[in-house]
Amino acid sequence: MRPFRPISAVPALLAPLIAGAALLAPGSASGQIVANRIASGLSFPVFATSPPGDASRLFVVEQAGVIRLIKNDTLLAAPFLDISDIVEPGGEQGCLGLAFHPNYASNGWFFVYFIQENGTQEGASSIRRYSVSGSPDLADSTSGQQIFWLDQPYTNHNGGTITFASDGYLYLGLGDGGLGGDPQDRAQNGMSLFGKMLRLDVDGGDDYPGDSLNNYAVPGDNPYTMDANVLDEIWAFGLRNPYRFSFDRQTGDLWIGDVGQDCYEEIHFAPGSSTGMENYGWDVMEGPNCYDDLPINCNRGPCGTGLVDPVHWLSHPLGGIAITGGIVYRGSIAAIQGEYFFGEFYSADIFSLRHDGTAVTDTTDWTAILDPPMANINQITAFAEDADGEMYIVDAGGEIFRVEIDPTGTGEPEIAKPSSFSLSPVRPNPFSGTTRFDVRLDRATDLDVSVFTADGRRVARLHSGPTSAGVLPLEWRPRGDAAVPAGVYFVRAEADGRVESEQVVVLR
């Protein structure tokens, strides 16, 4: 994530143009699902998780390098583990991730991902394995064994998540190395681990016996083990900063929240049947559009397989937005089963979407329900789940919230879901003559599609009025219109009180 900048810095006129997600909150049953605070007083928590089969305890990672324990909804005073003496703190650094071994109940192993001091300001991405002590609520701080090490060139874009998938292997998402715009093209370089999803075997021996800092094996079915131009650990390419990613515990599907550069925050999806080799596009593309000096025909990859578009994105004309990737809900509330929840760090907005295996089918803005004024969720650093699949929201301000049915209500909530509504990427973009796009509606409704300047002035209305269900093809041809000089504009579609927008660049 980027260093904090208040979302209020974005002018009010631009607010409807910022979010590419749906902007309709659930309806009449809004009081039946709540975010209930279960802990406060933490110091900049960034993640939380539970060991397999243990829903009574939630382990919370504090950025400074302390792991705290919430037991039966009570925050224990004594830390589970304190490694703050070896953690490089501050900014996007610090202690960022935690994963319990699938066999934790028998071997007591857990893995911590953090930026470790290495004598430089930038530090190094480090994974260490620790063991629980004789007390289940206290780790053995002397048991640390170095598993993975990678010196960082800059202090930002460090990723943040490690997790075990159902295949038993440990996955690590690494950012592109930092700075801005991936100037050394690391994310598309097969001989660099930066900007990649890695898949490691932390049980199967050591493929680097001469390197005391790296002690893991490469799974034999990793996709590039026979490719001399790609490092064996790599599972997927083209990520900028996959700060939070997760696997759906029911389907095995992979969901990645990738923090964007200047225009788009991305959500990527890979089915549980994937065998790797996805290329998520950075820095050839940002969101649905070409990036930097490749304005057209940019959907290409280093292995000739093309690029995988995000399944959803948030657009932001002025920057200042950083996505916090989330989880697919698999807890006890039937109404939200299978929804992928994610958020936005600066504004603490909370969204969900569904995916049918091919496309996003609907999106929902939960902010008014899960973060009403009295909840005071300020900066969302993670969506977490416990051993039962119940969902938690981690707030950098020191609080943990559990999403649950309002105990003052009765029965199962009946959520009023919005209609499915989507705006396709604008192609070509940039353009000088005509650009085209589609609006998809799952039912008949009133639709308005217009083009705005960056300061909110309408320059064209492309469609307005009752619209049938289906796909509506539209185009914009500003050539010859003196009121539309070269520059950045926003195509904005609105239906049923929801808004989606796309940035488009006009050339002259």
Tell me the domains of the chain and their CATH numbers: 7-405 (2.120.10.30), 421-506 (2.60.40.1930)
- Structural tokens at position 244: 């939070």
CB 501 within 8 A of CB 315: yes
- Tell me: cis bond preceding 227? Omega within 30 of 0 counts: no
Q: What is the dihedral of CA 208, 209, 215, 220, to 10 degrees?
A: 50
How far apart (Å, rounded) are the C-alpha atoms in residues 193 and 468? 48
pLDDT digit string (tens) for the chain, length 508 residues:
333 322 222 322 223 332 333 333 343 333 478 899 999 999 999 999 999 999 999 999 999 999 999 999 999 999 999 999 999 988 999 999 999 999 999 999 999 999 999 999 999 999 999 999 999 999 999 999 999 999 999 999 999 999 999 999 999 999 999 988 898 899 999 999 999 999 999 997 999 999 999 999 999 999 999 999 999 999 999 999 999 999 999 999 999 999 999 888 999 999 999 999 999 999 988 887 788 655 555 665 444 457 898 988 887 754 458 999 999 999 999 989 999 999 999 888 898 999 988 888 778 888 888 887 666 899 999 999 999 999 999 999 999 999 998 876 655 554 544 445 778 788 888 888 889 888 877 677 889 999 998 888 899 999 998 887 777 889 999 876 666 888 889 898 988 767 788 888 898 7
* The dihedral sign for the CA sequence 321, 324, 325, 326: negative
pLDDT at 403: 95
How far apart (Å, rounded) are the C-alpha atoms in residues 22 and 3? 26
DSSP assigned state of 420? P
- Structural tokens at position 249: 């515990």
Q: How far is CA 275 from the centre of its chain?
A: 21
Tell me the three state secondary structure of residue 131.
strand
Q: Count of H helices and E strands in the chain?
A: 3, 34
> What is the CB neighbour count within 10 angstroms for residue 167?
14
CB 49 within 8 A of CB 98: yes
350-355: strand order across its sheet: 323-328, 340-344, 350-355, 360-365
- Tell me: cis bond preceding 425? Omega within 30 of 0 counts: no
